Amino acid sequence: MEKSRNLNIYISKLQQARIELMRTNPFYAVLLMKTSFGLDEYAETAYTNGDMIAFNPDFLSSLSNDEVQFVLMHEVLHIALNHCNRSIEGIDPYLYNIACDIVVNSNILYSFNMDTKRITLKEYGESIHKTPSGKEGYFFTVEQVLEMIIKEDFLKQKSKKGKNKANGLDQFDDHSFWKNDDDKDKEEERKQNIVNAKKIRDKMSKTLDKQAGKVSQMLLREIDKYINAQTDWKEVLQNFIQNDNVDYSFNPPDRRFQDNEFILPDLTEKDEKISNIWFCVDTSASISDTELTQSLSEIKGAIDQFDGKLEAYLSYFDASISEPQSFSTFEELKKIRPVGGGGTSFDVIFNSLSNFFKDEFPSYIIILTDGKAPYPEETVNKGIPVLWLINNDYETPPRGRVGRININE
């Protein structure tokens, strides 16, 4: 009877943590729904073997609710990223394990808005999350972090500073259960679980607050697989900005652009550059990963079509907006990492013009969005031509030029 009562306590503790994650980080919560749990009295702390997550009962009892959430996220992300079933030939497994933990912990840290308390266990301290370069692990793959660890002799540097535990290197979970096998069926199942978790996360995102819905950097690594752009940018620009004498202040929508593929001025024989364009990409809670990928794919399409002759800025916005960063190549574009996940405000774009562009306003503003927010007053654009790229066929801004793209889930 006593054993049964204790088991219910453990189950309740895991369920409580998973319910809280469904509110704050549903991507992880959905992945955990596909994962089984167990108690292992012979384990020191916790571990995953790639299929299940097991806890030592005493270790589980010692954890607060926040700490249980972190351990669950840590283990399930090892599963999702297939860390348990792969290794690198000729590399010390311990170094590989450290690289995996840096990537996993840093992504979890990002999910909690860089609050290091959320990746800290009272008996183990703050979990390691930075690479030898001092940058966060979420910027890199495991292979890239591992290369840095080997090159910089990272562990020796850490040991000189004191005991490993004090430097976050004492792993709280046991990686010895990792199997390093090559099961193709399980690999496909793992990928499908990630896709399903992303879809459910997207459907729930409208209920999340700004921090809880923050875009996951680990997920955004998928954006490297850009899909084909639908925009004929040269044609769009030819119609949109070819004549500086035209009054493009926030006038009513140009119906020539309605319900057509989004089409920016054709480079003339003078071989002039297209410059000083400000792209603003919506990353609010209503934007799915697919929609964000399509938006960035459209910008990549502009880079490709202008072939070195495009000079632009990029900002991400929801209820706030990131500082514009310049780019002209695909590699520079990829370095500008998305942030967001809260409510949507178009006003933040125009209200930030004087702060961001003190010397010279952008020549053109292109806003990639689902259009699901109140639109600004007529004069806020300060006379700058504005083009709205809407990812649906039902939202129409009351002024400015409008183009559309189709989203295929």
- Separation between Cα atoms, residue 149 and residue 126, nearest integer Å: 19
Contact 376, 392 (CB under 8 A): no
pLDDT confidence of residue 45: 93
Greater confidence (191 vs 49) lies with: 49
pLDDT confidence of residue 69: 94
pLDDT confidence of residue 304: 84
Task: pLDDT band for 29, please (50, 70, 90 cuts).
Answer: confident
Phi, psi of 128 (to 5 degrees): -65, 135
Residues 371-393: what's their mean pLDDT? 86
CA 142 centroid distance within chain: 17
Task: pLDDT band for 227, please (50, 70, 90 cuts).
Answer: low
Asked whether the predicted pLDDT for residue 234 surpasses 80, the reply is no
Asked whether the predicted pLDDT for residue 195 surpasses 70, the reply is no
CB-based contacts of 315, cutoff 8 Å, min separation 6: 278, 279, 280, 281, 321, 322, 323, 324, 325, 349, 356
- Give all domains of the chain, ordered by start, each with its CATH number: 2-204 (no CATH), 225-404 (3.40.50.410)
pLDDT confidence of residue 31: 82
- Separation between Cα atoms, residue 326 and residue 354, nearest integer Å: 17
Produce one character per residue of 391-403: b if its CB has 16 or more CB atoms within 10 Å, e if not.
beeebebebbbbb
Asked whether the predicted pLDDT for residue 245 surpasses 60, the reply is no
Asked whether the predicted pLDDT for residue 164 surpasses 50, the reply is no
Residues 10-34: what's their mean pLDDT? 81
pLDDT confidence of residue 207: 43
Paired with 369 in beta bridges are: 390
- Separation between Cα atoms, residue 36 and residue 54, nearest integer Å: 9
Residues 152-163: what's their mean pLDDT? 56
Most confident by average pLDDT, 118-127, 216-225, 280-289: 118-127
Paired with 14 in beta bridges are: none
pLDDT confidence of residue 193: 60
The mean-pLDDT minimum among 5-9, 121-125, 282-286 falls in 5-9
Q: Which residue has the tokens 């790229």?
A: 389
Task: pLDDT band for 166, please (50, 70, 90 cuts).
Answer: very low
Task: pLDDT band for 187, please (50, 70, 90 cuts).
Answer: low
Greater confidence (408 vs 151) lies with: 151
Residues 108-128: what's their mean pLDDT? 90
pLDDT confidence of residue 67: 95
Q: What is the pTM assigned to this prediction?
A: 0.49
Contact 52, 107 (CB under 8 A): no
The mean-pLDDT minimum among 237-246, 312-321, 357-366 falls in 237-246
- Burial (CB count <10 Å: 0-12, 13-18, 19+), residue 216: buried
CA 194 centroid distance within chain: 14
Task: pLDDT band for 5, please (50, 70, 90 cuts).
Answer: very low
Residues 283-301: what's their mean pLDDT? 85
- In terms of Cα–Cα distance, which of 239, 238, 245 is closest to 265? 238
The mean-pLDDT minimum among 19-23, 89-93, 226-230 falls in 226-230
Contact 319, 344 (CB under 8 A): yes
Task: For the chain, give the mean pLDDT.
Answer: 76
Task: pLDDT band for 307, please (50, 70, 90 cuts).
Answer: confident
Per-residue CA distances from 300 to 141, 331, 404 (Å):
22, 10, 16
- Separation between Cα atoms, residue 110 and residue 137, nearest integer Å: 10
Query: Which amino acid appears at position 359 of this protein?
Result: D
pLDDT confidence of residue 210: 42
| CA max distance for the chain | 86
- Separation between Cα atoms, residue 383 and residue 142, nearest integer Å: 47
